Structure 1
Amino acid sequence: MGWLTAGEGYEIALMEGRVTARAVTGRAAGRQLKTIPKALRDHPEVDRLRRLAEWLERHEAACVAQVDAWMVSSLPVPTALLAGVWPDEAWQGALRDVAVVGDDPDEVGFLRDATTTGELRVVNLDGETVRLTAPTVTLPHPVLLPDLDDVREFAAELGIVQRVEQIHRATWHKPQDLAATATEVRDFAGGSYPNRFRLAARATGLGYRISGGYATCPVRDAGRSLEAAVWIGEPYWDGDSTTGALTWQDENGRAVRLREVGPVAWSEGMRMAAALYAGRTIEEGGNA
């Protein structure tokens, strides 16, 4: 955005998410200042730009969160919708280089552009730029990509960096030898924290919800809504806390057998459990 007059002898602008000032008179005329001058700190225009910067930051985070939700749910997204939001820099930053699939589920491409006529331009795995005109596209969860290693290798060759963690997202595949009645996974149980607050803080910091004694992660998998949950302790417990078992529940709160958990829900639940376990207290010394 351009420079705005603020006070006598100064102009301000929003650059890289922060308010910047420059002098318009004297020796320093035209020079960008390292800090906002004291005379401008309470100026209405400075305050307006600060509030705009905060809104833009929230908007950018909301765009990334929405694209992540589309990817985790694997729901079809209207092509016209993606083309419509593309001119917005925040949306474009969240969507650029995300892997998308059109009518052919085996044809994966990285989103590079969207036209005013509603077409998407993607780079396919042959390195060719092609147009997607399908009414809807999906942003596939990486666990659903059959050639994920090839996709990752090609992305590295192109120097692709995604704002939304997709192709380099940690994935887990469900074992085939699960017991018919099993409803919980304990691979990441027993991760010790000094108190429940620290464990809950790690969960929320990673973007998970806290519901009662659980850290939870809602997932839509193959048209079915599930919620993965890891026990983190009673809400008001002030002693040591440890991560508990990982389970899945349906929309009615009923436990889902592991054999019935879909690939995306399994992977996202395991990803959450592993991330919570990774933050545990690790003992050092001879008793470790």
Structure 2
Amino acid sequence: MGWVETTGGYAVTLDGTRVRCRNAAGRALKQVPAKLRDDAEVVRLRQLAEWLERHEHECRSQVDAWLVRSLPVPVGLLARVWPDEAWQGALRDLVVAPVGADGRAEADRAGFLRDADPERGLGIVDLDGDSVRLDCEQVLIPHPVLLEDLDDLREFATELGVEQGLEQLFREVWQRPETAGGTALEWGAYADAKFEELRHATARAVSYGYRVRGGYAICPLTEDGRALEAAYWIGDDYPEAEAYTGGLEWRVDGGRRLPIGEVGPVAWSEGLRMAASVYAGRVVKNEDEEGEL
């Protein structure tokens, strides 16, 4: 945006989400002078910057929900939001696949999203490196655990110079081991992690965007049209109490625990992603390692 004149011959502008200032001689200053911090124009720009940051976060959160929950997205909606830089930053270069009449994603027509236009539809770079247009009403933003030949896709993305604003291709994924199945109701690989204080585990879960409820870190999910949640026990004592993590479980139908053998690939991967993120902040027992991760 342009420069806005303010008191004392100074001018201010917004550079991304940072307020910048120049003096009457036109020289850019390293920071806004203290005497201008309560100036009406400076306050207005700071409020705008805060709104832009919230808006960018909301856009990323929504696109992440589409990815994690495997929700088909109308092409018309993508075309409407595409001119917005915050939406475009979250969507550009994500792998998208058209949804066919049967409701399934057509993986052979997938590609990296480069444009969304109300008249011409979506422009992508397909997996052969050609720029094409998709003629469809909905697309799926596939979770990486569902993408075949993920390593090849990552290599191809690197060759194209793809820089995704939202983690998709380079998102960590966990495949369910063949030994994990049957009627067991929880996965214990991330149990018994010690935290000096419960609030450390809680803060770590919240910092990654997870909810904390009833002693569990919670990750809401949708798979094959069914709503469920992954829940990882982190403790329900007072915040300053020592805490140990427990098992990871998946729940459906208002709290019924789902047997591990029935957990789908996206729910499995995202549940373990949550547990691993919290677990990494534990107190390390081995004295040869750092005291805390």
Give SS of 1:219's match. Answer: strand
Pair 38,172 (structure 1): closer, same or farther in 2 beyond 3 Å = closer
Aligned to 1:13: 13
Aligned to 2:63: 67
Aligned residues: 284
Distance 1:173 1:286 in 2: 30
Structure 1 unpaired stretches of 5+: none
Give SS of 1:164's match. Answer: coil
The CA deviation at 1:107 is 2.5
Aligned to 2:36: 40
Give SS of 1:8's match. Answer: helix
Pair 160,259 (structure 1): closer, same or farther in 2 beyond 3 Å = same
Structure 2 unpaired stretches of 5+: 101-105
The CA deviation at 1:191 is 1.3
Distance 1:118 1:225 in 2: 34
Distance 1:70 1:235 in 2: 34
- Any conservation in 1 of the 2:95–2:111 contact (CA below 8 Å)? yes
Distance 1:118 1:254 in 2: 46
What does the per-residue CA deviation read over 1:121-172, in whole Å, with 9 as the maximum and x for residues that have no partner? 1111111111112100000000111121111110111121212111111111
Give SS of 2:29's match. Answer: coil
The CA deviation at 1:179 is 4.6
Alignment of 1:183-262 (within 5 A): 183-236=185-238, 238-262=240-264
Distance 1:212 1:235 in 2: 10
The CA deviation at 1:106 is 2.7
Distance 1:137 1:255 in 2: 31
Aligned to 1:277: 279
Aligned to 2:109: 107
Aligned to 2:103: none
Q: Normalising by the residue count of structure 2, what TM-score does the alignment of the two structures yield?
A: 0.93
- Any conservation in 2 of the 1:64–1:91 contact (CA below 8 Å)? yes
Give SS of 1:281's match. Answer: coil
- Any conservation in 1 of the 2:251–2:257 contact (CA below 8 Å)? yes
Aligned to 2:164: 162
Counterpart amino acid of residue 50 in structure 1: R
Counterpart amino acid of residue 3 in structure 1: W
The CA deviation at 1:92 is 0.6
The CA deviation at 1:283 is 2.7
Aligned to 1:90: 86
Give SS of 1:20's match. Answer: strand
Counterpart amino acid of residue 92 in structure 1: Q
Question: Which residue, 121, 125, 131 being the options, matches 2:127?
Answer: 125
- Any conservation in 2 of the 1:212–1:235 contact (CA below 8 Å)? no
Q: Name which of structure 1's ranges 143-152 and 34-43 shifts more when overlaid on structure 2.
A: 34-43
Distance 1:10 1:238 in 2: 49
Distance 2:88 2:237 in 1: 40
Counterpart amino acid of residue 215 in structure 1: A
Identity of aligned residues (%): 53
Counterpart amino acid of residue 62 in structure 1: E
Give SS of 1:66's match. Answer: helix
The CA deviation at 1:192 is 1.1
- Any conservation in 2 of the 1:97–1:111 contact (CA below 8 Å)? yes
What does the per-residue CA deviation read over 1:206-252, in whole Å, with 9 as the maximum and x for residues that have no partner? 11110011001011011011110000011426332122100000032
Pair 32,237 (structure 1): closer, same or farther in 2 beyond 3 Å = closer
